Structure 1
Amino acid sequence: MANSKVGLARLCVSGLLLCISMSAATQSSASQTHPIAQQLFIQGDELIKQDQFTRGISLLEKAASKGHAQAAFELASLYEAGLVVEEDTRLAIKYYEMAVRKGYRDAHFNLALLLSSPFTPNNDLSRAREVVEVIADQGDIEAQFLLANLMKKKLHDAPSKPGKAFYWLQHAANSGHGKAQYQLATEYMKGLHVSRSAKTAFKWFNRAAMQNVAEAHYNLALMHEKGDGVAQDMAKAVEWYESAAELGSVNAQQNLGLKYLAGEGVEPMPRQAIKYLSKAANSGSTESQLLLAKVYQSGYQDLIKVDLINAETWFLRAARKGVAEAQYELALMLRDRNDSEGAELWGRRAIAGGHLAAAKLYQ
């Protein structure tokens, strides 16, 4: 067995695999478990750590059959991931259900995610919602957030329930869940299942921003820039763009790069422009990759010098991701340095991507 799978198996038995979160206070404690079941679990755990998987799994199964919730949870995780044992969704569901009946918190999450997946045989979105609602009703904000998203989904005969989704999203947001606050703000901003209210959206974006949700910072920047839900203030917009960019928002990085490049609302600062555009490009934004390539290819208002090596590097990165314009420009650069084979390769790919100028070039 590969070392990586052995390591994952050990993680699983330590309760670290496939969990949304883990809190000892919310799980079934050993004191609530039959002493024999607890001993079987400890022995099985130790055997698996020693790579004695068959014996370890057998003891975990015995512990689970005697009502040991964590043993059932670990077995379910192993069967779901196909570690140590053959992957078996049916057995994973069986053991998750056993753990759920014993009140094991993380089993509720894992079972719901498994049952709500379109790739799970005999999936059951209605059951997934029921499983999560048990702990959502108990005030678990992660469960409330997950339940809100499960209510948005539809699968087979289970329709989406936007009203209930909004209800649980509000609960999670009011309880301080950052991502729920961001989603709620977005619904008010777009007027989804609720009357549009930019002011209410602004309030919830602010709350999410306080929890360092990057896209909340970005949306606050947009709102300040446009004067939507708040007084227009370009200086504050730039502050929010910068904080969003530092938190990893690719949208903010690209917008900020463009602003520093063009001097829109800020002094033109080419180094800052390149810094933020490079961050976005390195995060995978093909738009930023293409923009950087063109800036280096032609220079920019005597502020950024022509750099054909960097231009080709960024055209190549975007071209490899299927950007037809980058493929075309790369073909031209290669043709100019007499690399006819490389030029034709990228030119043909640009044609396949629907680039009209490339089609004329290689008629």
Structure 2
Amino acid sequence: MTTNLAFERYLFNLKLGLATVLMILAVGPVQAQSKGLPNASSQELAQVRHQAESGDPRAMFQVLKKSPTLSKEEYRRWLSKSAELGYGPALFRLAKEEAPAIAPSGTRPMLAPGVLSHKDRIKQAHERLLSWAQEGDVESMYMLGSEMQTFKKMKIAKFQDGIYWLRRASEAGHPDAPLELALTIFHNGESISEKLEGFELVKAQALKGNCTSLHLVCNAYIYGKPSIGLTQDLIKAQEWIDLLAKHCGEDETAIFPIHPHQIK
């Protein structure tokens, strides 16, 4: 019985991982995470573009996020202009997109005099992000949190720094911050109490119809989650499977051993 359950859980994780990769390849990481959020209206886009044309670097960056049909040239123009004006999120995205190719083993990439290394550019962008965030810029708060793994890997910031800024961004109304915060604490929390908080936040997002969160909650109740002391509960699992089918379609439940009730 235990062996079968473990094998079923292995198959679930394999299928969920593949589904997530396919979703990201199809619509991009931001859209995949924000599935279900409304697109910007034409009026909102026009207003943001007007602000961008007036020289607001924050609006320039929002043009990138809210305009899915930008040409490569237009995308680059807005990103470069926003970065030139010192906007932290634009500087970081530009630095990340222009990451150098990996040098052959045993060699170091050669830099022209006065050219910053990739790590130095990331550090510089991080400093600008902090400056903008401390002045109340919500996008900078969000990026300091959502990119915490990059900053942590480069020893620029700590995990709790990222959590702090995700909380700030969430409180300030950034549309992607609540889900990012929930998933980050749930997967990477440094204590049981943190992971439990993350699970409650994931459930809150699931109740709003977020498909990623619904998958995670269904999995937790079907197989249990020992890291937070949660045991298998098939009655609750059935309730969440029904919600997954309702919000995301019955096809989304196919990877689970429990099937949804008939939805009227």
Candidates 234, 237, 256, aligned match of 1:308: 234
Q: For residue 48 of structure 1, what is the aligned residue in structure 2?
A: none
Deviation at 1:186, TM superposition (A): 1.7
Instruction: Give the TM-score, by structure 1 length.
Output: 0.42
Pick aligned residue for 1:153 from 48, 70, 87: 70
Seen in structure 2, the aligned counterparts of structure 1 residues 227 and 244 have a Cα distance that, compared at 3 Å, is farther
Matches of 2:129 and 2:147 in 1, distance apart?
7
Q: Corresponding residue for 1:221?
A: 148
In structure 2, stretches of 5+ residues that fail to align are 1-40, 101-115
The equivalences for 1:33-52 within 5 A come to: none
Distance 1:195 1:285, change over 3 A: farther
Cα distance in 2 for residues equivalent to 1:223 and 1:143:
22
Query: Which string of whole-angstrom CA distances, capped at 9 and with x for unpartnered residues, describes residues 246-294 of structure 1?
Result: 455112221112234xxxx334455413222123324543222111112
Paired residues for 1:159-178 under 5 Å = 160-161=73-74, 164-170=77-83, 173-174=85-86
1:163 is displaced (CA, Å) by: 5.3
Cα distance change, pair 292–236 in 1 and its aligned pair in 2 (3 A): same
| Preserved contact between residue 146 and residue 180 of structure 2 (Cα < 8 Å) | no
How many residues align structurally? 194
Distance (Å, rounded) in 1 between the aligned partners of 2:182 and 2:191: 15
1:318 matches 2:244: yes
After superposition, residues 79-158 of structure 1 pair within 5 angstroms as: 109=46, 136=53, 140-141=55-56, 145=60, 149=64, 153-154=70-71
Q: Report if the CA contact (8 A) 1:251-1:280 is conserved.
A: no
Superposition deviation, residue 146 in structure 1: 7.3
Q: Among 206, 221, 234, which residue is 2:130 paired with?
A: 206
Unaligned residue ranges in structure 1 (runs of 5+): 1-16, 22-108, 114-131, 175-179, 346-363
Structure having the higher Rg: 1
When residues 242 and 195 of structure 1 are mapped into structure 2, their CA distance, relative to the original with a 3 A threshold, is same
- Calculate percent identity across the aligned residue pairs: 12
What corresponds to 1:273 in structure 2?
A: 198
For 1:245 and 1:256, the matched residues in 2 are separated by: 13
Aligned to 2:95: 188
Shift of 1:202: 1.4
Separation of aligned partners in 2, 1:255 and 1:181 = 22
Matched AA of 2:229: L
CA contact (8 A) 1:148 1:166 kept: no
The secondary structure found in structure 2 opposite 1:153 is coil
- Alpha-carbon contact 1:221-1:237 (below 8 Å) kept: yes
Q: 1:186 to 1:204 in 2, by over 3 A?
A: farther
User: Contact (CA 8 Å) 2:95, 2:122: kept in 1 or not?
Assistant: yes
1:165–1:245 distance in 2 versus 1, CA, 3 Å? closer
Maintained 8 Å contact 1:253/1:277: yes
Which residue does the alignment assign to 1:327?
254
AA partner of residue 315 (structure 1): I
Evaluate the alpha carbon distance shift between residue 242 and residue 329 of structure 1 in structure 2; reply closer, same or farther with a 3 A threshold. Answer: same
Indicate how the Cα distance of structure 1 residues 329 and 219 shifts in structure 2: closer, same or farther if over 3 A, else same.
Answer: closer
Q: CA deviation at 1:162?
A: 5.5
CA distance 1:184–1:257, change in 2 (3 Å): same
Whole-Å separation in 2 of the counterparts to 1:208 and 1:217: 10
Amino acid at match of 1:186: R
Q: CA deviation at 1:230?
A: 0.7
Q: Using CA pairs below 8 Å that are at least 6 residues apart, which structure has the higher relative contact order? A: 2
Contact 1:277 1:292 in 2 (8 A): yes
Q: TM-score, normalised by structure 2?
A: 0.54
Q: Residues 83 and 90 of structure 2 are in contact (CA less than 8 Å); yes or no, is this contact kept in structure 1?
A: no
- Is the 1:318–1:326 contact (alpha carbons within 8 Å) kept by the matching residues of 2? yes
Instruction: For residue 237 of structure 1, report the CA deviation from its aligned partner.
Output: 3.8
Corresponding letter in the other structure for 2:159 = M
Distance 1:142 1:199, change over 3 A: closer
CA distances 1:89-116 after superposition (whole Å, capped 9, x unpaired): xxxxxxxxxxxxxxxxxxxx46x96xxx
